[in-house]
């Protein structure tokens, strides 16, 4: 600043410049090169999304990427050297990628943890029935959905069936344009007077999320439920399964949409399941690219976050801890001492400010599309219930890391204080005496069948995870 410019500024303007927080400049502050790097990064993200709609598929896609980059399956008890790249898989639904650091686990590990399950419609154990000459599946929704959003959209069937003979059959049907898909019907507006008078949460009830799967009878024999029989026959011919095999199956109906650019300027990506694959993918790439870091770095993709991180593939399970314990033992360290020195980024999304629903947000403490990666100090609900509120010290550390690396970032809360709430895996990691904070990508229409993110924010999440692994 020249002397003349300085004189032209008022005393108040100069003091303001010195003391007041600067309004984040968002994508305005980015040069063309960074924006094109973000666009390029999201091409890879869209490819990942096409083959990763449910957790088993996300694990398979990630394992393939890891093998291509020289990762090998971890062997418990083996001594690893700095720079070695290993991975672990839990029940086909979790994958952990670890790059052994120069100091191994002695100064703790760096953890990036994202979840790869997303809200969807699961099949009930006895799903198949016939009504009025139509064949349908009964479903049980998984995670937080607005039920009306799941009617009248194309759905694809993903998952696994285990037959009585022990054979596993993987299913993925409805994604290709020439494959059949499925749909939940809705009432026509001409006849919806009763439905339209109900509150939105009651207009479509869980028990009405029945999926249309066929309508033709098997033949003209005088047998009952011929349409259902025809579907059973098709399923037997295609997958070798009988009706009771649904009892030992995990079959999910997910939106049959493909990831697509949004907007004339192609600045955004629309897809099913951004929450939380939009943090999983950047975390995976950061791990794949990590070269001989100081401390061992781990990207871990977990399951069951959307239903409370329960079960043996959720973050309340001991799987990841056991893996860290194995790494610690190989270094002659106790698990508890490693965890006490470890740091974690709970890589999860937050709600992006939506001008159409402005009243749900508090604009001074919201995250914005194109504002960069978002740090969420605490999640939870009401009076900060059910959250691990990150410490000032750890916030300071992460903030410094982002600034030092020129990463576009912002902070935010999940909507208005009394508006509702939500949680992430952060608190389960914090329980093990680890410093943890949520850091991820802002999402518009979160948990809808088609969610929206900004390409710049996805890229900044990757930059943040890469910088964290170098810290």
By CB under 5 A, name the binding residues for Mn ion.
Answer: 275-276, 348
Nearer to Mn ion, 56 or 274 (CB): 274
Question: Measured between alpha carbons, how far is 372 from 368 in angstroms, rounded to an integer?
Answer: 8
Contact indicator for 353, 346 with CB cutoff of 8 Å: no
- Answer left, alpha or beta for residue 377, where phi above 0 means left and psi between -120 and 50 means alpha: alpha
Least distance to Mn ion from the beta carbon of 424, Å?
Answer: 6
Least distance to Mn ion from the beta carbon of 318, Å?
Answer: 22
Nearer to Mn ion, 127 or 380 (CB): 380
Nearer to Mn ion, 348 or 435 (CB): 348
- Answer left, alpha or beta for residue 451, where phi above 0 means left and psi between -120 and 50 means alpha: beta
Nearer to Mn ion, 114 or 398 (CB): 114
Least distance to Mn ion from the beta carbon of 314, Å?
Answer: 13
Contact indicator for 230, 218 with CB cutoff of 8 Å: yes
Least distance to Mn ion from the beta carbon of 434, Å?
Answer: 19
**What does each C-alpha distance from 253 to 45, 53, 58, 119, 354 come to in angstroms?**
22, 10, 16, 10, 28
Question: Measured between alpha carbons, how far is 215 from 302 in angstroms, rounded to an integer?
Answer: 38
Nearer to Mn ion, 30 or 349 (CB): 349
User: DSSP label at 416?
Assistant: -
Least distance to Mn ion from the beta carbon of 433, Å?
Answer: 23
Q: Is the peptide bond before 392 cis (omega within 30 degrees of 0)?
A: no
Least distance to Mn ion from the beta carbon of 348, Å?
Answer: 4
Residue 86's DSSP bridge partners are 72, 98
b/e map 243-271, b = 16+ CB within 10 Å:
eebbeebbbbbbbbbebebbeeeebbbbb
Nearer to Mn ion, 295 or 366 (CB): 366
Nearer to Mn ion, 104 or 259 (CB): 259
Which residues have a Cβ under 8 Å from the Cβ of 369 and sit 6 or more positions away?
Answer: 268, 352, 353, 442, 444, 452, 453, 454, 457
Nearer to Mn ion, 137 or 353 (CB): 353
Question: Measured between alpha carbons, how far is 458 from 402 in angstroms, rounded to an integer?
Answer: 15
Q: Which residue has the tokens 């003391």?
A: 19
- With CB atoms as reference, the residue minimizing the distance to Mn ion is 276
* CA dihedral sign of residues 89, 92, 94, 95: positive
Nearer to Mn ion, 231 or 315 (CB): 315
Query: If we measure between CA atoms, which residue out of 117, 140, 138 comes closest to residue 128?
Result: 138
Least distance to Mn ion from the beta carbon of 202, Å?
Answer: 22
Least distance to Mn ion from the beta carbon of 49, Å?
Answer: 15
Least distance to Mn ion from the beta carbon of 305, Å?
Answer: 6
Question: Measured between alpha carbons, how far is 314 from 252 in angstroms, rounded to an integer?
Answer: 18
Residue 393, helix vs strand vs coil = helix
């Amino acid at each position: 600043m020249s002397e003349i410019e300085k004189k032209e500024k008022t005393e108040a303007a100069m003091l303001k410049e010195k003391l007041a927080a600067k309004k984040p400049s968002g994508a305005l502050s980015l040069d063309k090169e960074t924006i094109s790097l973000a666009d390029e990064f999201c091409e890879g993200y869209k490819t990942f999304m096409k083959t990763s709609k449910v957790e088993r598929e996300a694990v398979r896609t990630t394992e393939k990427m890891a093998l291509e980059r020289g990762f090998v399956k971890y062997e418990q008890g083996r001594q690893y050297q700095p720079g070695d790249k290993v991975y672990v898989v839990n029940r086909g639904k979790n994958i952990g990628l670890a790059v052994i650091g120069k100091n191994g686990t002695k100064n703790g590990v760096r953890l990036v943890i994202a979840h790869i399950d997303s809200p969807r419609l699961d099949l009930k154990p006895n799903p198949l029935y016939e009504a009025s000459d139509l064949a349908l599946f009964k479903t049980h929704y998984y995670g937080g959905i607005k039920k009306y959003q799941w009617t009248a959209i194309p759905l694809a069937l993903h998952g696994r069936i285990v037959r009585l003979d022990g054979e596993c059959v993987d299913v993925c049907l409805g994604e290709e344009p020439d494959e059949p898909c499925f749909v939940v019907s809705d009432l026509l507006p001409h006849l919806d007077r009763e439905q339209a008078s109900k509150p939105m949460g009651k207009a479509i009830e869980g028990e009405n999320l029945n999926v249309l799967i066929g309508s033709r009878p098997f033949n003209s024999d005088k047998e009952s439920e011929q349409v259902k029989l025809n579907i059973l026959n098709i399923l037997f011919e295609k997958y070798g399964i009988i009706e009771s095999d649904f009892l030992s199956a995990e079959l999910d109906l997910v939106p049959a949409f493909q990831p697509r650019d949004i907007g004339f300027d192609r600045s955004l990506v629309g897809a099913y399941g951004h929450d939380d694959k939009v943090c999983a993918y950047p975390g995976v790439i950061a791990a794949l690219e990590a070269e001989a870091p100081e401390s061992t770095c781990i990207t871990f993709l977990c399951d069951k976050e959307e239903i409370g991180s329960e079960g043996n593939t959720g973050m309340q399970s001991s799987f990841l801890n056991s893996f860290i314990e194995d790494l610690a033992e190989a270094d002659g360290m106790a698990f508890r001492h490693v965890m006490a020195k470890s740091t974690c980024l709970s890589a999860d999304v937050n709600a992006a400010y939506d001008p159409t629903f402005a009243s749900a947000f508090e604009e001074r403490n919201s995250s914005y599309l194109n504002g960069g990666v978002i740090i969420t100090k605490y999640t939870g609900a009401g009076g900060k219930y059910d959250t691990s509120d990150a410490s000032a010290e750890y916030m300071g550390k992460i903030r410094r890391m982002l600034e030092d690396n020129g990463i576009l970032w912002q902070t935010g809360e999940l909507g208005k204080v009394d508006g509702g709430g939500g949680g992430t895996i952060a608190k389960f990691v914090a329980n093990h005496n680890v410093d943890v904070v949520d850091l991820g990508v802002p999402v518009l229409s979160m948990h809808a069948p088609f969610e929206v993110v900004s390409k710049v924010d996805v890229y900044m999440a990757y930059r943040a995870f890469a910088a964290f692994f170098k810290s």
